[in-house]
């Protein structure tokens, strides 16, 4: 919601979904105001269902901020979408969903759920140590995930990282 409010008056506009070529992109708000936790409201889930029903024959990528699956970092997984089962129950009825993409975890993740590609993007800032029980900063450099969408529903993707940081990262920090 904050992103939508920030962009409403600028040159970039927030949209809930858009079509580009053979693909349908749906953007969901998983944030809870004043919290690091994540939830998809009933309104958001209904909007997802509506958008998926509107384009049953179009390959679809769903994007949200928080992870809908555990990533293997115990402390980060406490901030996963708390009603992911409801989210996946909707998606399971829509075979056009080819991928789910999220940020939040400041590390890369690439997996599968049935025939759906699950991906996170590393941060363009500080990286979090994968597989950590408690908050920990990784020495990996900032990066981004690139995506290529094919007419047959395939997603090609990879992660690119900068060669080196220009400053120091406080590896012993309690949070970022």
Output the six-digit token pair for 48.
């997802």
Is 71 within a domain? yes
pLDDT digits (tens, 9 = 90+) for 4-52: 565 566 677 778 999 999 999 999 999 999 999 999 999 999 999 999 9
The pLDDT score that the predictor gives to residue 4 is: 59
Over 80: is that where the pLDDT of 91 sits? Answer: yes
CA dihedral 94, 67, 39, 125 (to 10 degrees): -130
What average pLDDT does this structure show over 80-108? 95
Residue holding tokens 């115990």? 74
Is 175 within a domain? no
Is 166 within a domain? no
Is 167 within a domain? no
Is 29 within a domain? yes
Is 118 within a domain? yes
Mean pLDDT for the chain?
Answer: 89
Beta strands 116-120; 109-113: pairing state: antiparallel
Is 51 within a domain? yes
Spatial distance between the Cα atoms of 144 and 121, rounded to a whole number of angstroms: 6
Q: Looking at the chain, which runs of residues are DSSP E strands?
A: 17-20, 23-27, 59-64, 97-102, 109-113, 116-120, 143-149, 155-161
Is 13 within a domain? no
The pLDDT score that the predictor gives to residue 126 is: 86
The tally of domains found in the chain comes to 1
Spatial distance between the Cα atoms of 59 and 95, rounded to a whole number of angstroms: 9
pLDDT digits (tens, 9 = 90+) for 97-128: 999 999 988 899 999 999 999 999 998 888 88
Report helix angle 84-91 to 42-54, nearest 10: 10
User: Which residues span the domain enclosing 25?
Assistant: 18-161
Spatial distance between the Cα atoms of 72 and 76, rounded to a whole number of angstroms: 8
* CATH (domain of 109): 3.30.750.180
């Amino acid at each position: 919601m904050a992103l939508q409010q920030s962009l409403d008056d600028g040159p970039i506009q927030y949209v809930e979904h858009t079509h580009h070529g053979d693909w349908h992109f749906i953007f969901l708000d998983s944030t809870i105001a004043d919290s690091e936790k994540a939830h998809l409201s009933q309104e958001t889930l209904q909007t997802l269902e509506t958008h998926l029903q509107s384009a049953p024959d179009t390959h679809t990528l769903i994007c949200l901020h928080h992870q809908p699956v555990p990533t293997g970092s115990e402390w980060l997984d406490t901030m996963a979408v708390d009603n992911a089962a409801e989210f996946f129950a909707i998606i399971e009825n829509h075979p056009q969903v080819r991928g789910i993409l999220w940020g939040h975890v400041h590390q890369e993740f690439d997996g599968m759920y049935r025939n759906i590609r699950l991906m996170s993007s590393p941060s363009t800032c500080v990286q979090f140590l994968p597989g950590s029980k408690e908050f920990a900063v990784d020495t990996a450099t900032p990066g981004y995930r690139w995506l290529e969408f094919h007419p047959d529903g395939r997603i090609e993707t990879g992660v690119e990282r900068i060669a080196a940081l220009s400053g120091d990262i406080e590896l012993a920090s309690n949070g970022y």
